[in-house]
Amino acid sequence: MTARILTVRDLSVRLPAAGADLAVVDRVGFELAAGEIVALVGESGCGKTLTAAALLGIPPEPGGRLEIRTLKIAGREYSSLDERGWRNARGRDIALVSQDPLTALDPVIRTGTQLVSVLRRHGIHSRGEAAAKARELLGEVGLPDPAGMMRRFPHQLSGGMRQRVLIAMALSCDPAVVVADEPTTALDVTTQAEILHLLRTRARDRGTAILLVTHDLSLAARVCDRILVMYGGRIVEQGPAASLFESPAHPYTAGLMAAVPQLTGGDPPVVKPLPGQVPAPGHLPPGCGFNNRCPRADTICRKQEPELTTSNGAHLREVACHRPQRPGEPGNPS
Amino acid sequence: MNTNTPTATPLFEVRDLRVEHAAPGGQKLNAVNGVSLRLREGSILGVVGESGCGKSSLARAMLGLLPVAAGSLFYRGQELTTLASRRRRGTQRGIQHVFQDPANSLSPRRTIRQTLEEPLALYRMAGRDEWPGRIARVLEAVGLGSELLDRYPNELSGGQKQRIALARALLPDPDLIIADEPVSSLDVSAQARVIERIRHARKTFGTAFLLISHDLAVIRQLADDVSVMYLGRLVESGPADRVFAEPAHPYTQALLAAARGNGAPGSGLKGEPPSPLTPPPGCVFHTRCPRAMDRCSRLNPGFTVAAQDDCGAQTHLVRCHLWN
């Protein structure tokens, strides 16, 4: 077992609501090992992006609040860090690659200047040294002509190049953990494959732990070691990618999988959308939050919230479901 | 799915289309360069390619939203490019569109009902008393309830908005809907629902679709025929099951490998497409082609038949020297 790089216990994100405040991410817990790529998957509104931001100590605007029991990165505890502490930790210990590289980069500042300023903020004081390091980083993420790249403005780069610049920025201080929020959603398939390869190589060579936030379960299964499935602000299933993809235990996971268009050699299975909508925060049904969309729900599911427990005795698998699907059971929702 | 015999006149035909964009410095960029397509009545034709390959320019030219620099467009045998604008407008009811971003294509200040009444008023469809019935029928087809009618777009999810855009496109009873990346802004389950509804609309109303997407898996779900574009040119076209099972062009093969792969080396293409301002000589793909030969950089290949089905109707065409 490789070293644990990230340990999260009881991480909640609360938003002010009428009367009380509302846990839009509810007591989430997981671990990342060194060199591991783990996917956090779910539909829009399931809380995955809020979880990603919370890992960097960023509460949602306006008035959002984080409640974290344990957040350990490389052995150090971050749960009680203040904003000033977080400003130093972000980028250095844990870094974010966001979905939209065009809005994440400042449009009026040259790429190189932005990268250099990140490096200088984190301890490389000499401008020349920082510039040399910036060129090196741009080369490492596979950008041709790093020196020329440094002089360009973000709009002069293609989407794939911008995403590489953001990755270079995220990797600049050699953080232990990289959170990548839908890093390839805006990209073409060919570029997508290269960006994912870049992240994998980095994880393997440097032992960086990567949390890949995505709505695409098939991408998660192809690229990641493990998958965490989120619904209604909770982790409802987790396990090794191959095993989870082969036999999803939670009906939500199975439903998500049936919704992903496949590219098999022969005739692909027809996609089946999940019934219903993700409920708005605060409108989850009592009991299991998925029961109003679940084909397997019965009385207990409407009464009691299931806990995340070892699934069917399967190795390393956990599921929060009263009526999980057994392996081999033809139980996709329709 | 590909059992339709070709009729003498396709529903829509694009012949040697060229679309130009003005580029800085007075240069001209050929966004679409000599593309020909045939769309059969009630069929779904998928157009796939990376960003910048010209697929959206093709769609916009077909809709009359971009000028045609050369070539012809035929709708039911009628040449559109030479039609007087008034008569061209007369053909517009039959060809509708759905674009990528539902947030920008629905007016934020109109209720869904007002948005859906618009095409009925514009094309003077039936009497006003028939509108509610028509709207209800189309809403049902896209899987939405009439309780949405008095809401505004901001009260709807992305997937619901896109299904409203589909409903609006269906209301004038079009023969063809041109859908440019209709699901790429949606998450998987919303995406699956729109895919399901496009399939349903084709079956129920016999509407043909030109489906543009960078996502091969989405095209695979819906299309009867596929055309693959690269740098403004068509490099391969044929029945979807053939193209996906036995892609003939190295570019199509690479696209499929990238989409099926896990990001391991070799599963993607090297680099990015060259600038369409300065397309490479010879075969436009040769600079990224893993199988490029000497002549590829000199000669632009023509189309070759990669395979023909039994009745010779649905031809699989490829534009590559490997097949010559």
pLDDT in tens, B63-105: 999 999 999 999 999 999 888 777 777 888 999 999 888 778 8
Q: Hey, is B43 helix, strand or coil?
A: coil
Nearest to A273 among B189, B244, B256 (CB): B189
pLDDT at A326: 83
Min Cα distance A224 → chain B (Å) is 9
Is B187–A265 a contact, with Cβ atoms under 8 angstroms apart?
Answer: no
Got the DSSP string for A85-100? Answer: HHHHHBTTTEEEE-S-
A286-292 own/partner pairs: CB under 8 Å, 24+ apart: A288/A320, A288/A321, A288/A322, A289/A231, A289/A232, A289/A233, A289/A234, A290/A231, A290/A232, A290/A236, A290/A250, A290/A251, A290/A252
Cis previous bond, A62, omega within 30? yes
Strands in A318-319's sheet, in edge-to-edge order, are: A94-97, A177-181, A209-214, A37-41, A226-231, A234-240, A318-319, A309-310
pTM score, whole prediction? 0.87
pLDDT at A78: 95
d(CA A158, CA A160): 5
In chain A, which residues have their Cβ closer than 8 Å to the Cβ of B254? 190
Min Cα distance B93 → chain A (Å) is 31
Domain boundaries, chain B: 12-323
Nearest to B192 among A44, A199, A271 (CB): A271
Q: Which parts of chain B sit beneath pLDDT 70? A: 1-8, 262-268, 309-314
d(CA B50, CA A186): 11
Is B188–A43 a contact, with Cβ atoms under 8 angstroms apart?
Answer: yes
d(CA B73, CA B91): 12
pLDDT at A312: 62
Min Cα distance B18 → chain A (Å) is 24
pLDDT at A265: 66
Is B217–A262 a contact, with Cβ atoms under 8 angstroms apart?
Answer: yes
Yes or no: domain A4-93+175-319 corresponds to CATH 3.40.50.300:
yes
φ, ψ of residue A48 to 5 degrees: the values are -70, -40
Interface residues of chain B, partner chain A, Cβ below 8 Å: 50-51, 157-158, 187-193, 195-196, 199, 214-218, 220-221, 241, 244-245, 254-256, 258-265, 267-269, 271-272
In chain A, which residues have their Cβ closer than 8 Å to the Cβ of B265? 197
d(CA B262, CA A115): 29
Other CB atoms within 10 Å distance of the CB of residue B294:
10
Torsion over CA: B53, B56, B60, B62 (sign): positive
Is A191–B272 a contact, with Cβ atoms under 8 angstroms apart?
Answer: yes
- Which residues lie below 8 Å from residue A202, measured CB to CB, with a gap of 6+? A171, A178, A208, A210
pLDDT at B220: 94
Joined together, the tokens standing for residue B253 give: 């093969």
Residue of B nearest to A260 (CA): B188
Q: Are strands A177-181 and A94-97 parallel, antiparallel or unpaired?
A: parallel
Q: Please identify which residue in the block is written with the tokens 């992903």.
A: A260
Is B158–A189 a contact, with Cβ atoms under 8 angstroms apart?
Answer: no
Interface with chain B: mutation pick from A161, A217, A263, highest number of B CBs within 10 Å: A263
CATH class given for the domain over B12-323:
alpha beta
Whether ipTM tops 0.90, in short, is no
Q: Tell me the β-bridge partners of B78.
A: B75
**Contact criterion met (CB below 8 Å) for A255 and A324:** no
Domain boundaries, chain A: 4-93+175-319
Is B241–A267 a contact, with Cβ atoms under 8 angstroms apart?
Answer: yes
Is B192–A259 a contact, with Cβ atoms under 8 angstroms apart?
Answer: yes
In chain A, which residues have their Cβ closer than 8 Å to the Cβ of B221? 261, 268, 270-271
Interface with chain B: mutation pick from A189, A214, A294, highest number of B CBs within 10 Å: A189
pLDDT in tens, A105-158: 898 999 999 999 989 988 887 989 999 999 999 988 888 889 999 999 988 888
- Which residues lie below 8 Å from residue B245, measured CB to CB, with a gap of 6+? A265, A266
- Closest listed residue to residue A302, CA positions, set A314, A289, A313, A312: A289
Residue of B nearest to A43 (CA): B187
Interface residues of chain A, partner chain B, Cβ below 8 Å: 43-44, 144, 158-161, 188-197, 199-200, 215-218, 222-223, 255-256, 258-263, 265-268, 270-274, 277
Q: Which parts of chain A sit beneath pLDDT 50? A: 1, 332-334
Between the CA atoms of A196, A131, B274 and B241, what dihedral angle is there, to the nearest 10 degrees? 0
pLDDT at B9: 85
Q: Please identify which residue in the block is written with the tokens 């694009």.
A: B14
Is A268–B254 a contact, with Cβ atoms under 8 angstroms apart?
Answer: no
